[in-house]
Amino acid sequence: MNHGLSSYQYYGCRCEICKRANIENTKKYLKQAQIKFASEPSNFKNHGLYGYRIGCRCHICVKEAKKTSSQSYVAGREYFKATGGFKSDKTKHGTSTAYQYGCLCQLCQKWKKDQHVRLRSIAK
């Protein structure tokens, strides 16, 4: 197996060489998408979540990104209420996502308390 973009995408390798290749490829793609997007500013069919993901912050793109994010959290909360578990294996207790889904275990409550303390110390 040669390390680089293809081993990152197809074989799941996460060594430094493969991660760097993926980051560079993503940057290149986003740059090309931004150039194409900027060259057609009046083409509103590309605005929305796609536009937001490539860096557009017009009112259409921001509104769509907020709506999508909100729908995701609502679905996560409903799933947690129904099953007591998380939809994704990536979601762990003691994180903002777990707390926002409605988990009130000790780890999640500790995260909330620590977050509150951290924010109060920043505000001072």
Q: Show me where the domains of the chain are located.
A: 1-39, 42-85, 92-124
What pLDDT sits at residue 55?
80
User: What is the block-wise mean pLDDT of the chain (124 residues), using blocks of 10 residues?
Assistant: 78 87 85 74 70 81 88 89 89 91 93 88 76
What pLDDT sits at residue 25?
87
What pLDDT sits at residue 104?
92
First-to-last alpha carbon distance for the chain, in angstroms, is: 53
pTM value? 0.50
Q: How far apart are CA 13 and CA 25, in angstroms?
A: 15
What pLDDT sits at residue 40?
67
State the CB neighbour count (10 A cutoff) for residue 17.
Answer: 14
The predicted-structure confidence for 71-100, as pLDDT tens digits, reads as follows: 888 888 999 999 999 988 889 999 988 998
